Amino acid sequence: MAKWIKLGRYHKVLQDVLSGEMDGEIPFNELCVLLKMLGCKLDHVSDSRQIFSYGGVEEKLDLQTDSGNGAMASPEHVRGVREFIRKYINV
């Protein structure tokens, strides 16, 4: 629970991701900052893609902006982030 306190304004972004109700409305940059604040490391950047890792977890998060709206994260990738957070990150 301590991570929630440190998130500040990104606490709402985390709530939106975990709720599953706003998958198409999460700004890409805010999702990336949230992952960094939760302890994920940015491993690679290429065009509109960013690849994150977390601790000793072998699985990687490969994020990309939505092709229809480059400012937003792809809804598919937001779902993947939600699953990753639930599986590996204790919040």
The rounded mean pLDDT for the chain is 88
CB atoms within 10 A of CB 88: 16
Closest residue by Cα to residue 72 from 14, 10, 22, 21: 22
Secondary structure of residue 76 in the 3-state scheme: helix
Name the strand (E) or helix (H) holding 32. Answer: helix 28-37
| Spans of all domains in the chain | 2-88
Stretch 44-66: mean pLDDT: 89
What's the predicted TM-score (pTM) here?
Answer: 0.86
pLDDT over 70 percentage in the chain:
92
Q: With 70 as the cut, is the pLDDT of residue 5 above it?
A: no
Question: What one-letter code names the amino acid at 46?
Answer: S
Sign of the dihedral defined by the CA atoms of residues 14, 15, 17, 23, in that order: negative
pLDDT digits (tens, 9 = 90+) for 7-29: 787 889 999 999 999 999 999 99
